[in-house]
Each structure stands twice: as C-alpha cells, then as structure tokens.
Chains A and B, each alone.
Chain A
Amino acid sequence: MTTAIAALPRKRVSLPRVVKSEWIKFWSLRSTYITLGIAALLLIGFGLLASSLYGDGSDPGGPPGNEPTDPIGASFTGTNFALLAFGALGVLFTAGEYSTGMIRSSMAAVPKRLPVLWAKVAVFATVVFVVALAASAVVFTAGQALIGDGGASWSDPGVARAVVGTAGLLTGSGLLGLGLGALLRSTPGAITTLFGVMFLLAMVAALLVPESWSDVVQYLPSEAGDAFTAVTQADDSLSPMAGLAVFGGYIAATLGAAAWRIKRSDV
C-alpha cells in the first residue's frame, strides 16, 4: 500500500505552480476547445461574410448599415458575437468550478485562495489574447482581400491598433466574464450580467439618459471598448488610451470584487 512510496519531495505552493495547475485545468475540458473554436469562428465567419458583402462604392446595393465607408469595421463585424463567446469561456472557467464543486478541491489544495484567481487570470488572458489576436489578424487580412480595391492594408493608420485592440477587447471581455463568474458563482447569472453590461447598458443609456448627461455614456464598458478598437474616432468618444484605461478599470474593479469575495466567503 502506501508504505511502498519513496518519500515525496515536499514542495511549497507557489504562483507558478498554481498557474501550471490552472493551465492543466483549462486544457482538460472539452468545453474549452468548443468555446474557443466557436469564438474564433464567430469573429472570422461574420467578418468574412460582411467583407464579401461590402460594396466597392460603385454598387450602392448591399445590406443597410454596411455602406462602404469603413472597410476595417466590416472585417470586425463579428466582434460582438465573439465577445460573448469569449465572455462565456471566462465565466465557465470560474463559475464552472462553483457549479461542479471543484472549487472545494481547488481551495483545499491552495488554501490561500487568491493565487487560484490570479493564475486563472494569467492562463486565460494569455490563451485568449493569442487566439483572439490570431483570429483578428486572419479576419482582417482575408476580409480586406475580399473587399479588394476599396480595402485597407496593414500599413494604413490605425489598422494595427484596431487588430490588436480587438484582441484586447475580446480578452478583456473574457476577463470580465471570469471575474463575474467568481463574484456571482453562477454560470447563468454571470453570463446574463456580462450581456447586460456589454450590450443592454448602452442601449438603455441611449434611451434614458438626458442629453446633458451624454458625457456619461462614453464611460460605459462597451463604449470605452469601442474607443480603443475603432479606426476612426467618433466625436463623442473617449480617446483610445482613455478608452483602454476605462475598460481596464472595469476589469480591475470586477476582479477586485471577485478577489474580495473569494478571500472572505466560505467555499
């Protein structure tokens, strides 16, 4: 029985080891591959579809809202769909541990608790940023090729920022989902909240917020995200750097709240 075991070297729990553990956890679930695949597919699929329908200026036909003014935007039509999929992946990475009970094993192994959250953030951000960046680059390159003459090229101003920014927005939304999952400990609750924050809030604000308050709207997460991904800045939008800072602020606040709950509450 256990007597046969040579003395096990006693190693401490450390952040790099917890990161390795989370890496194993992340890649040992089928849902990871499925959700990552769907997210990339949504970004690329919708981008290519919009690009192929993008008019070249001489032909005014084509779907409304897709007037040939923003070829780069057309490539990133799928951003909002991919955003939800990456967000759901983030939610599953944390809330999934609570719904299955895995969290008790995780926290018994790492009773200081917070390294688990930081390791999840590190693993998730790395993987999702790489996948999202690759998908953005693919959809931009292929999309512009489909558009042809009217299309943009990598050397155009703001293009690199739009590609990297989109990857950053998708990663950030995923982290928002990850934080909400740890904070709310419920998969449906966190996904609904994420959807509300990223989509409904801006719509509700547009309907309800009085004109004199319109400055507030640009600080909403979705608007701040638009600010650092769009090539052409809207008039009532934050600057790209300010947008990035505001969006990062939301992520930091959500993760901070999640950390507080993880540290304080019973598992």
Chain B
Amino acid sequence: MIEVHDLTKRYGDKTAVDGLSFHVKPGIVTGFLGPNGSGKSTTMRMILGLDRPTSGTATVNGRPYAEHPDPMFQAGALLDAKAVHTGRTAYHHLLALAATTGVPKSRVHEVIDIVGLHEVARKRVGGFSLGMGQRLGIASALLGDPEVVILDEPTNGLDPEGVLWIRNLMRGLAEQGRTVFVSSHLMSEMALTAEHLIVIGKGRLIADVSVSGFIESASNESVRVRSPHANALHDLLAGPGTTVLSIDRGLFEVTGLSAEEIGDRAAGAGIPVHELTVIRPSLEEAFMELTKDAVEYQSTEIGASR
C-alpha cells in the first residue's frame, strides 16, 4: 500500500510535483502514467525517500519508507537502470545491497535466476546492455521479497520477449497480493498490464481511475452507420446531444447514441442498415487527448512557427 498525500516538490521556482494525492492498492498492478517530465520519477523518488518533498507526505505500508527498520522488505524499486557502479559485477552489486539488511546469499542467487542474468552475473555491469541493466535493477528491487514493488519505466530497452516477461512478472507479483506500482508513458503498455491508472501531467493528478473506466471516460465513442437510406436515417437520429457526420454517400458517423439505440430506431422506422460499427479511438489517442494540456515538451510542427 502506497499513500501519497498532497505531495509537492519544487526546484527553485519550477514545480515538479504539485499537490499530488493518491493511493496505490495491493493485489493489482497500478499504472503511473504521464508525459515525459510530468513528475512521475520525482514522485517515485519521494516515495522512496531519495528526494525530500517540499511539502506533503508519502508513506509505504503506513509509514514513510525511511522510517521502516527493514525498508528492503517493505518496498523494492527499480528507479533507473544506471543506479549501479559500472566497475562492479552484477553479483557483487546485489550481494552488497543484500548485506545491508541481512538478506542471505541464496536469495541473491535466486533473484539473479528470476531475472535471467545467471550467465553474466560475474561480469562487470559496465558492459551490460540497457535491457540487462533493467533486469539487474529488477533483481535488486526483488531482493527483499518486498510487499511493494515500484518500477520506473521497466520496459525501457527491453526486447519484446523481455517486455512480455515483465508483464507476466508484474501480474504474478500482484496476484501474490503485492502492491505493484509501475510508471510508463505508453498507455497501450499499461492497458495490457495494469488494472488501475494514476495519470498525472505537469505534476498534477489528471485521473485516478480503473483502466476500463479510463477507456470509457476518455474515449468519445462513435458509431459508423451505413445505410442505403442515409438521409431518412440521418433525420431520424438527429437531435440534441447527437452529432451526425457524413463521411461518404450512405455512410456517416454518429456520436451521442449507442449502436443499440441506432439499430432499434432504424428497425422501428423500417430503414435497412448495412453496417453498424462502434468506433473507439486508440488508447494512445485517448491518453494524448487527456494530457494534451499538460505536456511539458510540446513539439511543434516544423515550419508552423513561421
């Protein structure tokens, strides 16, 4: 369980995290979404006590992370794959971290096997690929078999097989009743893994919803209707709260009515309908729509500023 209350972090006059409050519940994977620079990493660092909040609190299992006598058993984190001394081997890196809280050597070997780094465990980390670095970071997060697992963009640099592995790992951890909090800037990735979403932009909370709720609320569903008597059907459907957009001869898109309603009305009036398709914008489009006002680094089209 992670509880964040009114968390704020300012660097000089720049506010990275702005009055953020949310809970992350155990037993499910919670996605932490936001565009680049929206404050996801800063928030995670404050949860782990690496950054001091300007105001507000963040607790892990009821207490600030730093106040637990056995922090590594409470929460494990992958914050970035580069939090490793490049001159040390993966094995010694994990062994040193494990030693701080009496985690046995056998557990070090176990996590090395879990993340599949057995072959390279005795090699120096400096020569690791980004994907191997991520796996090492995940190994260190799992060392204390923690109740809370925090992963900052864990799929960065992983190949498709690695991405699939991470997904299964996260689901497995959640099924064991752990709290899994994972950040990403890819909505599509989260839709496949997470059950709940916390969306932030410019350090502020934009949404705290279930994934299905997000998909419903964010997407303006429309229905594509094809009919040989388009004009008659058009008149039948038009009304307040409904927009009908002609696309082609005999083809139009309706927003504001469900496919069932359209079909029933057409049947009632005896108008044949050849196609009735529900159209949802992609999750990525929905996400971009939701966060468009909160994008830190907005790209402009080339030439547009002239």
Q: Chain A binding site: helix, strand, loop or mixed by DSSP?
A: helix
Contact of A104 among B72, B73, B80 (CB under 8 A): B80
A19 nearest CB neighbor, chain B only: B99
Assess whether B77 is in contact with A12, with CB atoms less than 8 Å apart: no
A20 nearest CB neighbor, chain B only: B99
Say yes or no: is B267 at the interface (Cβ < 8 Å to chain A): no
Contact with B along A10-33 (1 / 0, CB 8 A): 111100011011101100111100
Assess whether A110 is in contact with B83, with CB atoms less than 8 Å apart: no
A111 nearest CB neighbor, chain B only: B66
- Count A-B contacts at CB 8 Å: 132
Q: How far is the CA of A17 from the CA of B66 in the complex (A)?
A: 17
Contact partners of B96 in chain A: CB under 8 A: 21-22, 24-25, 28
Stretch at the interface among B47-55, B181-189, B251-259, B268-276: B47-55
B52 nearest CB neighbor, chain A only: A266
Q: How far is the CA of A264 from the CA of B51 in the complex (A)?
A: 10
Contact with A along B110-145 (1 / 0, CB 8 A): 100010000000000000000000000000101011
Contact partners of B239 in chain A: CB under 8 A: none
Assess whether B102 is in contact with A104, with CB atoms less than 8 Å apart: no
Assess whether A100 is in contact with B84, with CB atoms less than 8 Å apart: yes
Assess whether B114 is in contact with A17, with CB atoms less than 8 Å apart: no
Contact of A21 among B71, B79, B100, B172 (CB under 8 A): B100
Q: How far is the CA of A25 from the CA of B100 in the complex (A)?
A: 11
Contact of A111 among B65, B86, B114, B173 (CB under 8 A): B65
Contact with A along B66-104 (1 / 0, CB 8 A): 101111110001011011111111001101110111111
A107 nearest CB neighbor, chain B only: B50
Q: How far is the CA of A1 from the CA of B169 in the complex (A)?
A: 8
Contact with B along A87-106 (1 / 0, CB 8 A): 00000000011001111111
A7 nearest CB neighbor, chain B only: B145
Say yes or no: is A216 at the interface (Cβ < 8 Å to chain B): no
Count, chain B residues at interface, CB 8 A: 48
Q: How far is the CA of A7 from the CA of B176 in the complex (A)?
A: 13
Q: How far is the CA of A22 from the CA of B97 in the complex (A)?
A: 9
| Chain A min CB distance to B88 (Å) | 5
| Chain A min CB distance to B167 (Å) | 13
Say yes or no: is B107 at the interface (Cβ < 8 Å to chain A): yes
Contact partners of B99 in chain A: CB under 8 A: 17-18, 20-21, 24
A104 nearest CB neighbor, chain B only: B83
| Chain A min CB distance to B14 (Å) | 14
Assess whether B71 is in contact with A111, with CB atoms less than 8 Å apart: yes
Assess whether B50 is in contact with A5, with CB atoms less than 8 Å apart: no
Contact partners of A264 in chain B: CB under 8 A: 52
Q: Contacts A11-B102, A267-B50: A105 and B84 contacting too (C-beta < 8 A)? A: yes
Contact partners of B101 in chain A: CB under 8 A: 11-13, 17, 109
For this complex, 19 residue pairs linking A to B, each with C-beta atoms less than 8 Å apart, are A1-B114, A2-B145, A8-B107, A8-B145, A9-B102, A11-B70, A11-B101, A11-B102, A13-B100, A20-B100, A24-B99, A28-B88, A28-B96, A29-B88, A31-B87, A102-B85, A108-B79, A109-B71, A109-B97
Q: A96-B87, A107-B50, A266-B45 are in contact. List 15 more A-B contacts (CB 8 A).
A: A2-B172, A3-B172, A7-B145, A11-B103, A17-B101, A21-B100, A22-B96, A24-B99, A100-B86, A101-B80, A102-B88, A102-B93, A108-B50, A109-B97, A111-B49
Top 7 nearest A-B pairs by Cβ distance?
A: A11-B102, A111-B66, A28-B92, A21-B99, A104-B83, A102-B85, A12-B69
